[in-house]
Amino acid sequence: MAGCGLPKKYRFINTSDRTVLEWKVPPTNILVVHKFCDHKVIDHLKDLINFVSKQAVPPVLAFRLGTLGFLTPFPFGSFQSCIRRAMEGPSTCLLRTRLRCEISRGDQNGKSVTDDSDTSSSRSNSPDKEYHFLNELVVDRGLSPCPCNLLVKVNGKPVTHFEGDGLIVSTPTGSTAYSMATGASLLHPCVPAFLLTPINSLTLSSRAIVLPMTVRLEICINSTARCKLAHFSFDGRSRASNLIRDGDSISVTGSPYPIPCLSTEDQAADWFCGLNSLLNWNARRRQSLHWSGSLCADEDT
């Protein structure tokens, strides 16, 4: 995987069928990230990721190395020509939407207090005020024997509550990951929407719903819930240390900083190719023809 260029040195041109990346100033270097085990390199890479995670991300050119790579459209065998074409430009680019999340903490009386407020909360256990994630936010019951009872608000108005193992808030990119495993729909990365998916809901009528990126989604523990805490994680990370309790809330909105991923010419065909070849979407074993009796025989013979 390679991150090319710097912010403000390129621009995006939207056409009727695709987005094109065009360099204002041609890049003079690239950052190459490969699988490695050197912890010194990993620590520096984490610092870089934390720095760019909350702002504009440089264009990304991803190569597959033979494993399941739904986000890696280019073969590693031709990396030299792919990098050359990317640096010369223009290149077709897919803007993968991210979601922005804010954690608000409640004081001892249950009043909501944001992490960056002057009022401190003795129960605040997360140093981060803001998160940007590419795949999904998961809120689950953890090791509690009781199911989660989560209240959901849209634009500040309560709409429903979910009782079960938890909820998934998924981007279009993350719709082919954990959300898909729970039976939710698949969203093309170009669709400006996100999914709210229940995990093992206790009601038969509970279904995943698609919401536009323009709404503000809020999740908190219902006041009548027996389980007064829940775990949450972003893209499957730091789940054990992230907790919300009664009075806390999680707010999700669309992030203004998508991840620009260089892609092939036909984005729709490339996405369906990934569904078919990697996920075996809608695939079934073809049955052989079986002729028996007059139902299958030709009446004229």
Condensed to tens digits (0 to 9), the pLDDT of residues 14-67 reads 777 778 887 877 777 777 766 555 555 555 555 666 666 667 788 888 887 766
* Residue range 135-145: mean pLDDT, rounded: 91
Report pLDDT for 278.
80
Report the C-alpha gap between 105 and 84 in whole angstroms: 48
202-220 confidence digits (pLDDT tens)? 999 999 999 999 999 999 9
Report the C-alpha gap between 137 and 126 in whole angstroms: 15
Report the C-alpha gap between 212 and 253 in whole angstroms: 10
More confident residue, 145 or 118: 145
Report pLDDT for 86.
83
More confident residue, 206 or 110: 206
- Decide if pLDDT at 99 tops 60: yes
Q: Are 105 and 114 in contact (CB under 8 A)?
A: yes
| CATH 3.40.50 applies to domain 2-97+258-278 | yes
Report pLDDT for 89.
75
More confident residue, 46 or 152: 152
Query: Does the fold of domain 99-254 match that of domain 2-97+258-278?
Result: no
- Decide if pLDDT at 261 tops 70: yes
- Decide if pLDDT at 235 tops 60: yes
Structural domain boundaries in the chain: 2-97+258-278, 99-254
Report the C-alpha gap between 231 and 234 in whole angstroms: 11
Give Cβ neighbours of residue 273 (< 8 Å, ≥ 6 apart): none
- Single pTM value for the model: 0.78
Report pLDDT for 106.
77
- In the block, residue with structure tokens 């010419």: 265
Return the number of other C-beta atoms located less than 10 Å from residue 240's C-beta.
8
* Token pair in block for residue 146: 């009781």
Report the C-alpha gap between 63 and 71 in whole angstroms: 9
pLDDT band at 156 (very low <50, low <70, confident <90, very high): very high
Report pLDDT for 5.
42
Q: What residues are paired with 172 via a beta bridge?
A: none
pLDDT band at 118 (very low <50, low <70, confident <90, very high): very low
Report pLDDT for 128.
52
CATH topology (fold) of 99-254? Tumour Suppressor Smad4 (2.60.200)
Report pLDDT for 274.
81
Report pLDDT for 77.
83
Cα separations in angstroms, 252 against 194, 216, 255:
10, 6, 9
pLDDT band at 284 (very low <50, low <70, confident <90, very high): confident
